[in-house]
Structure 1
Amino acid sequence: MAHKKGVGSSRNGRDSNPKYRGIKKYGGEFVTAGNIILRQCGTKWHPGSNVGMGTDYTIYSLVDGVVQFAHKSKKAYKVNVVPVEYVEVEIEEVVEA
């Protein structure tokens, strides 16, 4: 019989800091150059036209415009930003019609 109680160590007591990943600007939303569109782990979303990707796979806008999401393949998606000039022309055409 033991004379002292065996002291175990707890395997709990740790928790990682939140990473706040996910989509920050949705399709159709206006963004300015440098705005973060989404944060991700790996490349589920790939950069398209007028979009850059950081070292941590963050996708951000390179120009002022409207966010657009598109399918690249069955599993991968592409993020584009349509520049302001093209958006304004489309709005004027709709107003005239």
Structure 2
Amino acid sequence: MAHKKGAGSTKNGRDSNAKRLGVKCCGGQVVKAGNILMRQRSFKILPGINVGSGRDNTLYALADGVVKFEPVQTKLKKYKRLNIVI
């Protein structure tokens, strides 16, 4: 007979890797065309002037310039828009 009780199985113990989402360039920062400005899952921040969006909603600079965030308000919700000022 065993002296110790055998270990049971568990349903926990899984986790996914971090996806490194968020703002990559802050307001007032100088960026070059092609730099990633923000990685996001849905449009938490909208693309503005000289800013493109990838198929995974990543915002990137289309031109060299300075990053500027501006508030935008619709009838239902408040957003922020990300622009590149040349």
Distance 1:56 1:9 in 2: 37
Whether 2:83 is the aligned partner of 1:80: answer yes
1:59 alignment partner in structure 2: 59
Distance 2:14 2:84 in 1: 40
2:49 alignment partner in structure 1: 49
Give the secondary-structure state (helix, strand or coil) at the position aligned to 1:10: coil
Q: How high is the TM-score relative to the length of structure 2?
A: 0.83
Give the secondary-structure state (helix, strand or coil) at the position aligned to 1:76: strand
Unmatched segments (≥5 aa) in structure 2: none
Which one has more relative contact order, counting CA pairs under 8 Å at least 6 apart? 2
Distance 1:11 1:77 in 2: 41
Q: How high is the TM-score relative to the length of structure 1?
A: 0.74
Give the Å deviation of 1:8.
5.2
Give the secondary-structure state (helix, strand or coil) at the position aligned to 1:72: strand
Distance 2:59 2:72 in 1: 16
* Structure with a larger share of its residues in helix: 1
Distance 1:36 1:44 in 2: 15
Work out which of the two has the higher radius of gyration on C-alpha atoms and give 1 or 2: 1
RMSD of aligned alpha carbons = 1.7
- Report the AA paired with residue 18 of structure 2: P
